[in-house]
Chains A and B, each alone.
Chain A
Amino acid sequence: MKGAAGETAGGLGPVMWRPNHGYDDVSTKTLGFWLYMLSDAMMFTALFAAYAVLGHAMNAAGGPLPGTVAHPTHAFTETLWLFSSVLAYGGAMIALKKGNRVGVMAGIAVALLVALGFLGSDLHEVTRLFAAGATPERSGYLSAFFALVFYHGLHVIVGVAWMLVMLGQVAVFGLSEAVVYRLLNLRLFWHFQAVMWVFMFTFVYLRGAII
């Protein structure tokens, strides 16, 4: 190993090494999280596929049919809750753009409260169905229906918990780089589940009312 040749090459020949080559940490983190969200979308896809297979009248096994279970108007009020929460989180992001720490926290808090409204509405719907005997173990159709409803609901619950954590993080650390990329990831998560809700609303609630 003779170093001399190499060192002259480093000085005169082509560039061999790049000291202080940095990476964009924030966008690396958000890309990975976006890939995770896409894999989550794949889980939704698999559940939708299961719903497509089990969504026939014969899968209701004599129990409640899609037309009686899916309640489009109520689902639309849930849509309003959910989209409003998404908008509030968007407000937090606009505050973040200016480095407005209070604005960020206020936006997240509003998004959180409105999301709780969605959860309450969701819970009310599920309780109503359960009371009427439409439980997941009643039929293959209802299993697939509730799998989708609860999987989306789980996203909202996780989102709420994450918002709580982020309120703590913003309070403790301020808007440090780690907090910022987590806020961006939460944005992806929260806005993404709204996109999934569009499909839930259309293919579960509205479509159920057509059949």
Chain B
Amino acid sequence: MGIHVHLRVFAGRDYMTESNHSTFEHPEVQLAGTGYVAAYVAGIALMGLSLMLVKDHALDPTALGIAISGIAGLAALLQCVLLLHMTLSRTQIWQTVALVLFVPLFILTIGLTSWMFHGLYQRTMLRPIAASQAMAPAPLRAPR
């Protein structure tokens, strides 16, 4: 017979009625691990580093902006790998591909929007930078 009987462990079950113990062996369940602790430590350390840089005004504003953006990117990347398991393994490949396809869109949306409004403000607003400096910040009378 040329017919291949092709069975998989998780094939079409009426999943609500039976408790299926082999579900724990599903590769996605098995992804969990100590990576979560690493993500926790790294996330807090990186965010703390950013906080310190900003608190101490360690760099000039532009460099500081770039530095904390870089740190945020690193932290997000670590979390994507360690928490969300974005890897090239057979289990996770589609998730990773989907994310990788999305990232340019995030950048395009924010980047192109910022770019077009940057130009627009320069051309249509009365010197926004100078105006912002002239504008006295309103006092915020709350306890800090």
Contacts and interface: CB of A to CB of B under 8 A. Distances in A.
Interface stretch (A76-84, A148-156, A158-166): A76-84
Contact of A22 (B6, B37, B68): B6
B2 A15 contact: yes
A87 B45 CA distance: 15
A26 B27 CA distance: 10
A184 B28 contact: yes
Interface residues of B, number: 80
Given A94-B33, A206-B54, A20 B5 contact: yes
A201 B75 CA distance: 11
Given A195-B76, A207-B65, A177 B113 contact: no
Given A53-B117, A94-B36, A26 B23 contact: yes
Given A45-B109, A98-B24, A69 B79 contact: no
A133 B135 CA distance: 18
Contacts, number: 241
A67 B133 CA distance: 13
A111 to B, nearest CB: 11
Contacts of B19: 173-176
Given A63-B138, A128-B142, A97 B132 contact: no
Nearest to A52: B114
Contact of A94 (B8, B28, B32, B142): B32
Given A71-B144, A79-B47, 15 more contacts: A18-B3, A19-B5, A23-B11, A24-B10, A25-B11, A31-B98, A64-B140, A68-B137, A96-B24, A176-B20, A191-B79, A198-B43, A199-B76, A202-B71, A202-B72
Interface of A: 10-15, 17-27, 30-31, 34-35, 38, 41-42, 45-46, 48-49, 52-53, 56-58, 60, 62-65, 67-69, 71-73, 76, 79-80, 83-84, 86-87, 90-91, 93-94, 96-99, 128-129, 131-134, 173-178, 180, 184, 188, 191-192, 194-195, 198-199, 201-203, 206-207, 209-211
Interface of B: 1-8, 10-13, 15-16, 18-21, 23-24, 26-30, 32-33, 36-37, 39-40, 43-44, 47-48, 50-51, 54-55, 61, 64-65, 68-69, 71-72, 75-76, 79-80, 83-84, 91, 94-95, 98-99, 102, 105-106, 109-110, 113-114, 117, 121, 125, 128, 131-133, 135, 137-144
